[in-house]
Amino acid sequence: MGQYFKHFFTDLAAKNDERIEVFIYACGKRDAFTEEVQASVAHLVYFADDDDALPAMASAIAADAPDVLIYPEIGMEPIIEKLAAMRLAPLQCMHWGQPVTSGLPTIDVLFSAEALEPDNAQSYYCERLHLLPGPGTSYPRPPKPSALTRKQLGLPANVPLAVCAQSPFKWSPQFTLAVGEILAHSPDTRLVTFDGPIGNRSNAFAAYLEHFLGPIGVDTKARVLRLPHRSRADFLAALAACDIALDSFGFSGGNTSLDALSTGLPALTLSGEFMRGRQTLAMLRTLPATVQAELIAVDEADLCGER
């Protein structure tokens, strides 16, 4: 989520507006992203991820007495959710890094985007919904892919390749069965997935795919190609080597879909009811209408090639 929202605070800090001070409070693993942000703002306070982090962060925020406190996401990190449950500023807001309502009476405003939300969006949030224009983010251009070929990536040369690089938690049974139908209707196509850094979880995901795809006649050992966890440049090369990306409907891709589109790889999606299932839709709606018609499915039957 860092790439989605980094520019909101680094660009604000870069304006050097004497009326505005930007304070950032960071916890967890300190990495290159932390260093990059710290180089762009005057005030970044880092807290080690230990038992004292929560009271230390709450005390630091309260002492700085901000007029507005903004959380890029609430729900992915337990310490952030606990902080958000406190009233530490007169106006407390959240971005859509975790694409659901916080459910907290201490969060006043949720920043989403016009291109992401359905017409009745406010009914899904306890916060006051504020819609930013377009897709609601200033995303940095992804780097160029590495020069790895299909052969070097361990991919077959002369068969159609569909890729779904989404995290396993986005593979609902409904989406997984739809992928199975796509493979059943295109027997030459291979599905490319990516293993995570933890081996036993990747093996559990492979078993999950076999559970749903095996009974409908898809031989997962022959049709599903598992690639190892890679650097971002090599990951982009793998996307570029494929023919189409399958977006996980219901909980769509974000960074992954932007990465795919940056390589010229088309992404096939189905609009979801809620914002979390409409991110790739929002990206595709920036493209010409003829392209949208090819890549935005009307329903599951259309997605699976049954009409």
Give the Cα-Cα-Cα angle 177, 182, 188 (nearest 5 degrees): 130
Residues 6 or more apart whose Cβ sits within 8 Å of residue 185: 304, 305, 306
Confidence of residue 181 (pLDDT cuts 50, 70, 90): very high
Tokens of 85: 């449950």
Based on the fold, state whether residues 112 and 59 are members of the same structural domain.
Answer: yes
In a domain, 249, yes or no: yes
Q: What is the pTM of this model?
A: 0.86
Based on the fold, state whether residues 73 and 165 are members of the same structural domain.
Answer: no
Based on the fold, state whether residues 8 and 116 are members of the same structural domain.
Answer: yes
Report d(CA 256, CA 165) in Å as an integer: 7
Predicted confidence (pLDDT) at residue 307 exceeds the cutoff of 60:
no
Based on the fold, state whether residues 155 and 67 are members of the same structural domain.
Answer: no
In a domain, 90, yes or no: yes
Mean pLDDT of 276-281: 92
| CATH code at position 69 | 3.40.50.11380
Residues in the chain: 307
Give the Cα-Cα-Cα angle 9, 10, 12 (nearest 5 degrees): 65
254 touches 4 (CB < 8 A): yes
Q: How many structural domains compose the chain?
A: 2
> Of all helices (H) and strands (E), which one includes residue 148?
none
Report d(CA 274, CA 183) in Å as an integer: 27
Tokens of 35: 């260093």
> Per-residue pLDDT tens for 144-157?
999 999 999 999 99
Q: Domain containing 202: what range?
A: 150-303
> Per-residue pLDDT tens for 68-120?
999 999 988 889 999 999 999 999 999 988 899 999 999 999 999 998 999 99
> How does DSSP classify residue 229?
P
Higher pLDDT, residue 25 or 16:
25
- Out of 83, 101, 132, a domain closes at 132
Q: Residue 286: which of 145, 167, 137 has the closest Cα? A: 137
> Per-residue pLDDT tens for 206-246?
999 999 999 999 999 999 999 998 899 999 999 999 999 99
In a domain, 137, yes or no: no
Based on the fold, state whether residues 289 and 217 are members of the same structural domain.
Answer: yes
Based on the fold, state whether residues 128 and 264 are members of the same structural domain.
Answer: no
Identity of the amino acid at 147:
A
In a domain, 55, yes or no: yes
Report d(CA 241, CA 221) in Å as an integer: 20
In a domain, 110, yes or no: yes
In a domain, 142, yes or no: no
Work out whether strand 267-270 and strand 244-246 pair parallel, antiparallel, or are unpaired: parallel
282 touches 156 (CB < 8 A): no
| CATH code at position 294 | 3.40.50.2000
Based on the fold, state whether residues 124 and 202 are members of the same structural domain.
Answer: no
